[in-house]
């Protein structure tokens, strides 16, 4: 399950034991999606130069879904809904998703945890359907790096978190791995800055965050 912005999105608190460093309090700074903010991305397909271009994501305001407030992010091809709960969890809701004939009315996933260490992972389970055929897809997110610097198109980003997304499907009682779907990079104070896939790369070229 992938896409230009499928960031492709509950964590039980553990008691801190003596000598352990308590989790860092989240400030939701990895999703500063204020209304009116604009993010311009380049999309490059290494195997098909014709599938190369750019798109703009604009934060158009708030939407209330199932009693929770999400920020609405729109582009030419997709609309996603983003929420941070203040406890380190970042959620994304995608509606009307389709992939190889399978569809899902909506998917909510935790795409980022900003207060866990490198190597931490978590999973979300979604159900997709093709007619009467329903499949269970398991999305696994793993923090591959944290607190690093990354430069893109001359823009220098600090405190970057890398998150690898892999998928597997349950079929006839067996879990089949679909491999790594994408590795996403998020910068503090900016949000999503890069998506790396097998043949596609999406990078942030310009952005304007509305204060």
Report the alpha-carbon distance of residue 125 to residue 133 in Å, rounded: 17
Q: What is the pLDDT of residue 147?
A: 96
Q: At residue 47, does pLDDT exceed 80?
A: no
Give the pLDDT of residue 38.
97
Q: Quick one: pLDDT at residue 50? A: 64
Kindly report, residue by residue over 107-120, the tens digit of the pLDDT.
889 999 999 999 99
Q: How far, in Å, CA of 210 to CA of 136, rounded?
A: 39
Return the minimum-mean-pLDDT range out of 43-47, 72-76, 143-147: 43-47
The percentage of residues in the chain with a pLDDT greater than 90, rounded to a whole number, is 56
Which residue, 202, 204, 196, 108, is CA-closest to 156?
Answer: 204
Higher-confidence position of 23 and 106: 106
Which of 42, 137, 37, 36 is CA-nearest to residue 94?
Answer: 137
Confidence of residue 104 (pLDDT cuts 50, 70, 90): confident
Q: Which domains occur in the chain, in start order?
A: 38-208 (2.40.360)
Mean pLDDT of 165-193: 90
């Amino acid at each position: 399950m992938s896409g230009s912005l499928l960031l492709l999105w509950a964590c039980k608190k553990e008691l801190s034991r003596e000598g352990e460093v308590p989790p860092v309090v989240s400030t939701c700074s990895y999703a500063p999606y204020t209304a009116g903010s604009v993010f311009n991305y380049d999309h490059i397909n290494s195997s098909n130069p014709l599938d190369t271009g750019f798109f703009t994501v604009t934060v158009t305001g708030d939407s209330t879904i199932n009693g929770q407030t999400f920020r609405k992010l729109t582009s030419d091809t997709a609309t996603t809904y983003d929420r941070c709960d203040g406890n380190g969890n970042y959620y994304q809701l995608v509606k009307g998703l389709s992939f190889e004939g399978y569809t899902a009315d909506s998917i909510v996933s935790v795409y980022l945890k900003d207060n866990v260490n490198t190597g931490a992972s978590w999973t979300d389970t979604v159900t997709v359907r093709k007619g009467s055929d329903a499949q269970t897809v398991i999305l696994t997110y793993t923090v591959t790096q944290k607190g690093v610097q990354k430069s893109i198109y001359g823009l220098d980003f600090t405190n970057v978190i890398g998150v690898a997304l892999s998928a597997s499907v349950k079929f006839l009682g067996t879990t089949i791995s679909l491999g790594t779907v994408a590795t996403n990079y998020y910068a503090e104070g900016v949000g999503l800055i890069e998506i790396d896939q097998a043949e596609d790369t999406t990078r942030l070229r310009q952005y304007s965050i509305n204060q």
